[in-house]
């Protein structure tokens, strides 16, 4: 059953530019490539490659630049995960810079007097902020593996903040949409909106008006530039200790938050072993817990491996049905079995084993959708129990980086640190505020992801690398999208490996998503009406939805050079080649 798909996989790897007649083509480079959600930031990374930096230098420079040019998701006040294939060493590394709960956090901190979750407190207050990890993580990666100095890597972001950049259409629209949230915080209001003062009248009165930035106007962020300069000169200590730490602590004390200088000084970003799986002779590397991305992705690939999805056809009713039934099984385990491995034992080996997938596969019926309530009643194992951005980088030494960072919601909780120029995350909502109650992404999770001091919340981020059958690096991908990240990455891989699509077509193809609860199948535009009717006949409840994810991806070519694709679902993204 898998023979035809395996042969197709070998053909794909042998000729990455096959199917030249496909409607869209990736950007090609004779050297390295940087793909991110914003064009100026991608250009920063490509320039770093041209200066002699490696994939880590370029990824870190791009990430810091995104903290300036993509304030809705790029960040200093959030966290994330990084996966690195070191070409010269032929070895993979994973870095966990997920945020951590403050040491004074409690399991019931978001419950009101009636025992219900206070959504505003969990998402829009200072209590929603976890200890940021982005600065520590990015600097740790660059210090260990970068070729250039910290100052060289940070200078482009500093210049973008201090000199400013033209507001692009997506940012102008995003700031307008987020205005009620951002303008409720006086500091954020001054950072992201024009404060225009009318001249004083003869009667002695003036007025001050607030207006939106127009497309093409220059957005300058001098406070953020000063913060980046401090980090450039002092490293992580410039963020987690000293003046910035005092400013953050003062804001928390004034506004009812929990983070203090002890929490900041105690933050660490550990190097961890990647989750490793195999699919049709390829090696798949992704993030371990507290990211659920790697475990769930490998489990999905294991479940789907024996099915001949290539024969069934891309986005046919049979293929979508099979994927969705596997998604529901994998998300059931994700929500009940995963958490922070620093504070509990996580059954990673069993969840990612081929044998465990074999035991679950009979639950996938070919003719009928299995209701979520029926699946939820089956114990998966003996119990032990939106805004993000992704970038991918390839360099000419054969190294790959997949890096995903987040503030959780767009602009986090909408609160900026006075005098520091950056927004704070609301990642505490990624914990289980109350077992059995859905979070902002509809995920119904259990006790293993409950709030606890120093714990890192479970994430769906899934920066992923794929190695070919010889163990050489081939592809880097990942996505934002909350709980839809994992299924986005899954479909990009299946489209590329099984369905004969080039990298651009694999990213562009319509996506579907299911996560057990709510019991529904989400579909992007582009799934045919006939297919939708067949899915409904199998018992699926369909939900037509907006674009899912933004899978910015790169691919290394066998003869040298690289390909890149910026997902058009986020229109300001760009794949920028390193030009010799």
Q: One of 62, 388, 405, 531 is an active-site residue; which one?
A: 388
Residue 458 exposure: Cα atoms within 13 Å on the Cβ side: 30
Q: How far apart are CA 575 and CA 564, in angstroms?
A: 5
Chain centre distance of CA 81: 8
Q: How confident is the model at residue 379 (pLDDT cuts 50, 70, 90)?
A: very low
Contact 276, 267 (CB under 8 A): no
**Please, which residues have CB within 8 angstroms of residue 470's CB and are 6 or more apart in sequence?**
none
Q: Could you give the CA distance from residue 451 to residue 439 in angstroms, rounded to a whole number?
A: 13
Per the prediction, the chain carries an average pLDDT of 92
Which of 194-198, 397-401, 495-499, 501-505 comes out lowest in average pLDDT? 194-198
Using a pLDDT cut of 90, give the percent of the chain over it: 87
Look at residue 443 and give its three-state secondary structure.
coil
Strands of the sheet with 521-523, listed across from one edge:
512-513, 521-523, 542-544
The CA-atom distances, in angstroms, between 243 and each of 131, 188, 240, 419 are 16, 19, 9, 10
The whole-angstrom separation of Cα 567 and Cα 551 is: 5
At 200 the pLDDT is: 44
- 3-state DSSP call for residue 458? coil
How many whole angstroms separate alpha carbon 289 and alpha carbon 550? 22
CB 100 within 8 A of CB 455: yes
Q: Residue 575 pairs with which residues in a beta bridge?
A: 35
How far is the C-alpha of 481 from the C-alpha of 261, rounded, in Å?
Answer: 31
How does pLDDT run across 426-438, given as a tens digit for each residue? Answer: 999 999 888 777 6
Give residues with Cβ within 8 angstroms of 535, minimum separation 6. Answer: 317, 320, 321, 521, 542
pLDDT in the model for residue 443: 64
Report pTM.
Answer: 0.94
> Is 62 a catalytic site residue?
no
pLDDT (0 to 100) of residue 385: 30
Q: Return the domain boundaries, the chain.
A: 3-17+277-380+444-449+460-558, 33-174+218-270+389-430
Query: Residue 420: which H helix or E strand, with range?
Result: none
Q: What is the pLDDT of residue 3?
A: 46
Dist CA 304 CA 309 (whole Å): 8
CATH class of 3-17+277-380+444-449+460-558: mainly alpha
| Of 263, 291, 260, 259, residue with least CA distance to 275 | 291
Detail the DSSP E strand segments found in 377-482.
388-394, 400-406, 464-467, 473-477
Helix (H, G, I), strand (E, B) or coil at 419: coil
User: For residues 578, 397, 555 and 566, what is the CA-based torsion angle, rounded to 10 degrees?
Assistant: -30
Instruction: Report pLDDT digits (tens) over 289-327.
Output: 999 999 999 999 999 999 999 999 999 999 999 999 999
| pLDDT in the model for residue 208 | 58
Instruction: Please report which helix (H) or strand (E) contains residue 283, including its range.
Output: strand 282-286
Bridging pattern class, strands 512-513 and 542-544: unpaired
| Short-list 82, 178, 107, 220, CA closest to 412 | 178
Average pLDDT of the residues in 76-104:
98
Residue 139 has pLDDT above 80, yes or no: yes
Share of the chain above pLDDT 70, in %: 92
């Amino acid at each position: 059953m898998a023979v035809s798909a395996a042969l197709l996989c070998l053909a794909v790897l042998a000729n990455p530019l096959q199917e030249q007649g496909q409607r869209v083509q990736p950007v090609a480079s004779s050297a390295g490539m940087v793909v991110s959600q914003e064009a100026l930031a991608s250009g920063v990374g490509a320039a770093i490659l041209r200066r002699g930096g490696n994939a880590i230098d370029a990824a870190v420079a791009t990430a810091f630049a995104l903290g300036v040019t993509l304030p809705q998701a790029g960040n200093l006040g959030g966290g994330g995960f990084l996966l690195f294939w070191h070409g010269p060493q032929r070895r993979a590394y994973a870095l966990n810079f997920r945020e951590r709960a403050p040491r004074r956090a409690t399991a019931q901190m978001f419950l009101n007097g009636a025992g219900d979750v206070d959504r505003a407190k969990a998402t829009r207050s200072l209590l929603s902020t976890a200890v940021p990890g982005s600065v520590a993580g990015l600097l740790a990666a660059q210090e260990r593996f970068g070729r250039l100095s910290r100052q060289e890597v940070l200078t482009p972001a500093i210049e973008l903040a201090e000199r400013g950049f033209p507001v692009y259409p997506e940012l102008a629209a995003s700031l307008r949409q987020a205005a009620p949230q951002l303008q409720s915080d006086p500091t954020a209001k001054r950072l992201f909106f024009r404060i225009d003062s009318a001249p004083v009248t003869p009667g002695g009165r003036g007025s001050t008006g607030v207006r939106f930035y127009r497309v093409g106007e220059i957005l300058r962020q001098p406070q953020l530039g000063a913060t980046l300069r401090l980090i450039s000169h002092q490293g992580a200590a410039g963020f987690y200790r000293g003046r910035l730490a005092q400013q953050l602590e003062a804001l928390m004390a004034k506004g009812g938050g929990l983070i203090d200088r002890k929490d900041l000084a105690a933050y660490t970003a550990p190097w961890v072993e990647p989750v490793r799986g195999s699919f049709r002779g390829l090696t798949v590397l992704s993030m371990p817990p507290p990211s659920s991305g790697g475990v769930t992705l490998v489990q999905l690939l294991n479940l789907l491996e024996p099915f001949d999805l290539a024969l069934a056809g891309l986005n046919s009713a049979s293929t979508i049905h099979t994927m969705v039934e596997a998604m529901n099984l994998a998300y059931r385990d994700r929500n009940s079995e995963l958490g922070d491995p620093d504070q509990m034992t996580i059954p990673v080996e069993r969840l990612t084993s081929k044998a465990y997938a074999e035991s679950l596969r009979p639950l996938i019926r070919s003719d009928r959708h299995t209701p979520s309530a029926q699946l939820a009643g089956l114990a998966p194992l003996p119990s032990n129990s939106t805004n993000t951005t992704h970038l991918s980088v390839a360099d000419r030494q054969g190294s790959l980086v997949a890096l995903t960072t987040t503030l959780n919601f767009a602009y986090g909780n909408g609160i900026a640190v006075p005098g520091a120029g950056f927004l704070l995350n609301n990642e505490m909502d990624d914990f289980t505020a109350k077992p059995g109650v859905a979070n902002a992404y509809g995920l119904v999770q259990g006790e293993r992801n409950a709030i606890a001091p120093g714990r890192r919340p479970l994430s769906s981020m899934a920066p992923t690398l794929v190695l070919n059958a010889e163990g050489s690096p081939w592809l880097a991908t990942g996505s934002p999208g909350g709980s839809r990240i994992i299924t986005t990455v899954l479909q990009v891989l299946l489209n590329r490996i099984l369905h004969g699509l080039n990298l651009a077509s694999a990213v562009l193809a319509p996506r579907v998503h299911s996560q057990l609860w709510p019991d529904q199948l989400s579909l992007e535009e582009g799934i045919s009406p006939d297919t939708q009717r067949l899915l409904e006949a199998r018992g699926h409840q369909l939900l037509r939805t907006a674009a899912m994810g933004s899978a910015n991806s790169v691919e290394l070519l066998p003869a040298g050079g690289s390909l890149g694709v910026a997902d058009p679902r986020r229109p300001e993204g760009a794949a920028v080649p390193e030009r010799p």
